[in-house]
Every structure is written in C-alpha cells, then in structure tokens.
Structure 1
Amino acid sequence: MKVNFIKSISKILLLSFLFISCSSDLDFDQTKDLKLEPVFVANLAYFNVPATQFANSGGGQVAFDVQEFDAFKEKFFRDNLVKAELDFEIENTIIRAFTVDVLLLGTNDQVLETDSYPIPAYSGTTNIIKYPTEVFENQRLDLLKKTVKIAFFVRMAPGPVLDQNSTGSLKLRSGATVYMEIE
C-alpha cells in the first residue's frame, strides 16, 4: 500500500509541475507591423520544335503561337506584386539560325512589348543560350500587369535548305520569378 501511495503522490507532483508555467502579456499590436514578402517561381512557357517542322527553303516567320496569360486577373495578385523576372533559355541543334520574338499582348491583341532573342545556327557544339533576365519593375511592371496573352514568333534566317530528313530541334524553356509584398 505504501508503494501505491508513493506512486500516487509522484503522479500528482508531476502533473502539478506541468501546469505551472511562465507567461507574459501578449502584444497583438505587433500584427499591424507584419509584412510578408513571398517569392514564387514557376514555369512560363516551353516548346520543342523538330527541324522537320521548319522544312522550308527560305527564311522569314515560320512558327507562331499565342498563349492565354491570366496571371493578373486576380486583384490580390495585381495589387501585391512588386517585381517580376522572366528567364529564357533556348537550345538550337538545327543548322539554321533563328530569332524568337516574345510579344506581350494586351486587350484586343495590342502589342505592349516585344523582346527578341537571336539564336545562332548549330555548328556541332553545344548551342544553349541563357539570355539575361528580363526584370519588370515600376512602369515596366505596370505594362506586364496589362498582359493578357503571350505570343511567340519564330523566324528562320536564310541558310541551308531544311527538309523532312533534317535533324535537330529548337527548344525554348522559360520561367518566372515573382516577388510580392503583403502588408
């Protein structure tokens, strides 16, 4: 019986220590100074076009694609975005040079901005080009926020004839990093 009494006293003492704690006054006014600065990274666009789709003896525009860009439909995102960075990387394994034009389009397909990326012809060595980051801040960011579509034009430069037996491809990879400030 003595052992049970000691166990009971030990349990009561242990539980009483668990309920004793230190506390201080909480200052909820600190939340007024809260500022969140999340950063998001996402894929923007990707394509891989084989040389056979460029079968053409001349130069000029050979490919065109338009994609909906509804990132700025949400008011919360538009209001809290402070900076955006777009990165483009293009790999060419075709024996022709190209230029890729990226067009930011507003309502009624109005061209807001055009960025051009020249791509040299493949010469047997690695031909991956990482272009400088396109930074959108201040007025340029306001322009980006008006974008509702992104168009890609691929123009082929004059050079050797491409046919259904031509090898290689043209690959574009792009990503976006967006910086937000939420107060």
Structure 2
Amino acid sequence: MPFYAFFLSLTICAIMKKLGIFLSLITLLLCVVSCIEDQDFDQYKDLSVVPVFESSILYLESTEDVINNVPPGPFYSQDFSFNAFSEAVFSDRVLDGVITYEIENTTSKPLSLTLEFLNDADEVLDSESFDIDASPSGTLQRDVVYGNTGKSLDIIKNTSKIRVVAVNNGDNTSTSTISPPLVVLKSSGKFSVRVK
C-alpha cells in the first residue's frame, strides 16, 4: 500500500472517529433536550396546604385542702394573658378549629367552672361553663368548634385573655376518699391554618 493511501486511510479513520464522537454528543444532547419540559414555577400560586396545629392551652389543678381553706363560693379566679390567637401569623390564616376541655374532679365537692375569653378591652367574647359533680364524677370532656360549623372565628382571633373562675358548691369540711383529691382542668386547641 502506497504511503499516501495509508496516510489517507488514517486521516479518514481519525475524521470518522471524531465525527462519530461528535454525532454521539449531538444525539445525546437532542435526547436530553427532548426530555425536558418547560417548568412552571408559578405552581406555588395554586398550592393549597392546610396543616393542623395542636397545642395545650391551659392546665390547672387544685387540691381539696385548698378548696376547704376558702369559704364556700369562688375558691379560684385568675386572668391569663393569651395572645397566641391574636398573632397575625395565626389570626390572618386560621380556617377553623376545636378547643377541647377535660375536667376531672376527685374531690368531695360539687364544683362550677367558668372560662371566659376576653378581648383587649376586657369585654367577654365567649364563655364556657361546667357543672361538675362530686367524686366519683368521671372525666367530663367537651369539644367546642369554631369556624364554619361552630362559633365565630372572631372570638378566637380577638382573644387576648382567658379568665377562669372556680366555685365550690359544697361544704368546707368533707374530704374525698380518693387519693389525691384534686380538680384538674385541661384544655387544648386543634386549628387548621392556611400556609399562605
């Protein structure tokens, strides 16, 4: 084989090799480009996420000794600052919710409990009252709904204080046989809140 033919065949092989690599790269690039869709970054506008937040609100307990040391009538009255509902991050986005109350009385006293939701001007927006039998009364549970199917959400949004008043409707001498004799109030809230 003459030298120029050998040189020509090497040149053609080199060109074909480079052309093959080039064509392979073009084919790969076309495959990648054809698999990519236009991205719609405006999807966030259509996103609807509604998480449910749950938290304790109040926990109070009193022993029967404390109740016996106060004359019949109110043995407990207290205002609690509570601005969590009125914070803009909550009040502007809350959709609905439930406040759950649980009361257990192991004292020998029939009791009355009243919770009042107050605004900044100390006006009562809402109240919940409970009459609790003396022990054994079991656990009283009440769910109060706010929003579409319940009380107005404006009550929750404008609450800045919660007032609790507990009244002894019995005597000041009896003692429960259950140990320890206590009255316990627990409350918690579960609310649906828009993310945006």
TM-score of the aligned structures, taking structure 2 as reference length? 0.73
Q: Is the 8 A contact 1:56 1:162 kept in 2?
A: no
45, 56, 69: which one aligns with 1:32: 45
1:129 maps onto 2:143 in alignment: no
1:110 maps onto 2:123 in alignment: yes
Q: Is the 8 A contact 2:86 2:158 kept in 1?
A: no
- Tell me the SS of whatever aligns to 1:104: strand
Q: Which runs of 5+ in 2 are unaligned?
A: 1-24
Q: How does 1:164-183 map to 2 (within 5 A)?
A: 168-183=181-196
CA displacement 1:126-148 (0-9 Å, x = unmatched): 621112x1111156111221110
Go from structure 1 to structure 2 and tell me whether the alpha carbon gap of 1:101 and 1:50 turns closer, same or farther (over 3 Å shift): same
Cα RMSD for the two superposed structures: 2.6
Letter in 2 for 1:99: S
1:95 maps onto 2:124 in alignment: no
Residue 56 of structure 1: CA displacement? 4.9
Match of 1:155 in 2: 167
Letter in 1 for 2:47: L
Q: Is the 8 A contact 2:75 2:168 kept in 1?
A: yes
Match of 2:79 in 1: 66
Go from structure 1 to structure 2 and tell me whether the alpha carbon gap of 1:77 and 1:122 turns closer, same or farther (over 3 Å shift): same
Match of 2:156 in 1: 144
| Separation of aligned partners in 1, 2:56 and 2:111 | 23
What is the aligned residue count?
162
TM-score of the aligned structures, taking structure 1 as reference length? 0.78
- Tell me the SS of whatever aligns to 2:92: helix
Q: Is the 8 A contact 1:81 1:179 kept in 2?
A: yes
| Separation of aligned partners in 1, 2:85 and 2:171 | 41
- Structure number, greater radius of gyration: 2
Go from structure 1 to structure 2 and tell me whether the alpha carbon gap of 1:142 and 1:171 turns closer, same or farther (over 3 Å shift): same
1:47 maps onto 2:68 in alignment: no
Taking every aligned residue pair, what percent have the same amino acid on both sides? 27
